[in-house]
């Protein structure tokens, strides 16, 4: 597993892709106030303690290769760095929620816990993952997803799923 690599010799360190002080309008969403509240939380709450580890930084299902139903590799490493493995998990959870719905994100976290029972996951990391992908532009369906056979997504479905992921995260905070 990526997060079990000990003492990697990598100099790059995790940093946020967003400014938590940015004014948030989220005009594309029916949850304008909740999006503003999310960024206010990100602005005032400190990151939970974490042990820096080797992280992919763009960990999601379409970067994971499978052979005979088992993981055989992970691709797309340009953003790899030292940082919180929790942000990889949050980013993957967000992607799963966008692709397949909130239940897929929950199933992934349950599977991660089964693999590593002592692992503790704070909902904060889902919120930070949302901050890293947030844009004031209306969410668009990523063309690459169709390459992987996911053809049932619409902008409206993505917005619904994004808002659901946000509400789920805020409820757990």
Q: Structural domain tally of the chain?
A: 1
Q: How far is it, in rounded angstroms, from Cα 66 to Cα 90?
A: 21
Q: How far is it, in rounded angstroms, from Cα 131 to Cα 91?
A: 10
Question: Which DSSP category does 49 fall into?
Answer: P
Q: State the angle between helix axes of 85-100 and 102-115 in degrees (0 to 180), rounded to the nearest 10.
A: 140
Q: How far is it, in rounded angstroms, from Cα 127 to Cα 91?
A: 10
Q: How far is it, in rounded angstroms, from Cα 96 to Cα 100?
A: 6
Q: Which of 8-12, 82-86, 119-123 is predicted with the least confidence, judged by mean pLDDT?
A: 8-12
In a domain, 6, yes or no: yes
Q: What is the domain range of residue 146?
A: 2-14+24-172
Average pLDDT, integer, range 14-39:
95
In a domain, 158, yes or no: yes
Q: Which candidate, 36, 2, 50, places its Cα nearest to that of 130? A: 36
In a domain, 131, yes or no: yes
pTM of the model: 0.93
Q: In this predicted structure, what is the pLDDT of residue 4?
A: 79
Question: Using 50, 70 and 90 to split pLDDT, how confident is the model at 148?
Answer: confident
Pairing relationship of beta strands 53-55 and 81-83 according to DSSP bridges: antiparallel
Question: Using 50, 70 and 90 to split pLDDT, how confident is the model at 156?
Answer: very high
Radius of gyration of the chain (CA): 16
Average pLDDT, integer, range 105-124:
94
Q: Which alpha helices (DSSP H) does the chain contain, by range? A: 32-44, 85-100, 102-115, 124-133, 143-147, 155-172
Q: In this predicted structure, what is the pLDDT of residue 147?
A: 85
CATH of the domain at 125: 3.90.1200
Residue 137 CB neighbour total at 10 angstroms: 8
| Torsion-angle region of 19 (φ positive above 0: left; ψ -120 to 50: alpha; else: beta) | beta
In a domain, 74, yes or no: yes
User: What tens digit of pLDDT does each residue of 58-106 get?
Assistant: 999 889 888 998 889 999 999 999 999 999 999 999 999 999 999 999 9
Average pLDDT, integer, range 42-62:
92
In a domain, 75, yes or no: yes
Question: Using 50, 70 and 90 to split pLDDT, how confident is the model at 139?
Answer: very high
Q: In this predicted structure, what is the pLDDT of residue 108?
A: 96
Q: In this predicted structure, what is the pLDDT of residue 143?
A: 87
Determine what percent of the chain is predicted with pLDDT higher than 90.
Answer: 77
């Amino acid at each position: 597993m990526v997060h079990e690599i000990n003492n990697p010799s990598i100099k790059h360190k995790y940093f946020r892709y967003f400014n938590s002080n940015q004014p948030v309008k989220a005009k594309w969403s029916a949850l304008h106030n909740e999006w503003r509240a999310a960024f206010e939380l990100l602005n005032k709450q400190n990151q939970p303690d974490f042990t820096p580890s080797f992280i992919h930084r763009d960990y999601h299902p379409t970067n994971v290769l499978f052979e005979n139903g088992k993981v055989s590799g992970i691709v797309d490493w340009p953003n790899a760095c030292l940082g919180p493995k929790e942000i990889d998990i949050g980013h993957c959870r967000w992607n799963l929620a966008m692709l397949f719905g909130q239940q897929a994100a929950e199933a992934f976290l349950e599977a991660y816990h089964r693999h590593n029972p002592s692992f503790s996951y704070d909902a904060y990391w889902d919120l930070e993952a949302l901050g890293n992908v947030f844009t004031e532009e209306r969410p668009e369906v990523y063309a690459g997803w169709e390459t992987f056979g996911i053809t049932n997504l619409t902008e409206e479905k993505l917005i619904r799923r994004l808002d659901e992921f946000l509400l789920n995260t805020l409820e757990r905070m």
